[in-house]
Amino acid sequence: MHITHHQYLLVLSIIFAIWWILLAIAPYDRADWALENALVLVAVVLISISWRKVPLSRISYTLIFIFLCLHEVGAHFTYSRTPYDQFFQSVFGFSLNELVGFQRNHFDRVAHFFYGLLLAYPIRELFIRVVHVKGFWAYFLPLDLTMSTSAMYELFEWGAAELFGGDLGIAYLGTQGDIWDAQKDIALASLGALIAMLITALFNSRLQRDFAKEWNDSLKVIETDPLGEDEIIRMLKDKHIDQ
């Protein structure tokens, strides 16, 4: 049975709503939970108002869904207290932290990595369909935007921590005493996006017949005339002629 993109999005939305309600019950820190869900609300609103005009692929909706579900886990427990190690011990019978030598709770690092890994592809789809980017730029720009939005989120965390302060600010930042926490989070998000784009490029190189040509064409200079002050002079001349 064929399921349309809209129907598929509806199914994912219902599942996410149930997941959200379950994890909204008795979170560890209600104020931190509310802060963590502020950007989720923005994402849900954007998807709600865009799905008619720009319906994404099932792959993109699935990737966004997985990331939002992962984020809700961190919002429920707070990122620095998410009991992933207890989960490993109860299910697999060993401590992941002891196995790899972790000295802190790394769930926040995992979430930042998956931010890049899971969301770079939907971003790429939007770039291709809205801006019509091709070749090299169809892989570089999603990586670039993922990296920049990750940095913007760290600035948002800093601003929220400064604004609210106290235990809420500390819980929201979740640095756990690491002075390089923000830089490591950005690096992991960038690494995730890079892996996603490399995998996408690998698939396309095997399946897309004109992959090499499109890549090469995307790096050719289309406009040979200088811009900047030269373009300003040209626009002034055009304006004078029109008058």
More confident residue, 240 or 145: 145
- Binning pLDDT at 50, 70 and 90, where does residue 176 land? low
Can you give the pLDDT at residue 171?
61
Please tell me the distance from the alpha carbon of residue 104 to that of residue 126, in angstroms, as a whole number.
36
Q: Where are the domains of the chain?
A: 5-242
Give 31-42 pLDDT, tens digit per residue: 889 988 998 999
Can you give the pLDDT at residue 95?
85
Residue 186 has pLDDT above 70, yes or no: yes
CA distances from 113 to 59, 146, 147 (A): 18, 11, 11
Least confident of 21-30, 84-93, 159-168, 185-194: 159-168
Least confident of 106-110, 160-164, 183-187: 160-164
More confident residue, 177 or 9: 9
Can you give the pLDDT at residue 68?
97
- Binning pLDDT at 50, 70 and 90, where does residue 182 land? confident
Structure tokens at 28: 């560890």
**227 contacts: CB under 8 Å, gap ≥ 6:** none
Please tell me the distance from the alpha carbon of residue 177 to that of residue 151, in angstroms, as a whole number.
19
Neighbours of 83 (CB within 10 A): 13
Return contacts of 13-20, CB within 8 angstroms, 24+ apart. Answer: 15/65, 16/65, 16/68, 16/69, 19/69, 19/72, 20/72
- Binning pLDDT at 50, 70 and 90, where does residue 175 land? low
DSSP code of residue 199: H
- Binning pLDDT at 50, 70 and 90, where does residue 160 land? confident
Q: Is 238 exposed, middle or buried (0-12, 13-18, 19+ CB in 10 A)?
A: exposed
Give 228-237 pLDDT, tens digit per residue: 888 888 888 8
3-state secondary structure labels for all residues of 96-120: HHHHHCCCCCCHHHHHHHHHHHHHH
Please tell me the distance from the alpha carbon of residue 99 to that of residue 2, in angstroms, as a whole number.
45
DSSP code of residue 136: T
Question: Residue 112 half-sphere exposure, CB side, CA atoms within 13 Å?
Answer: 27
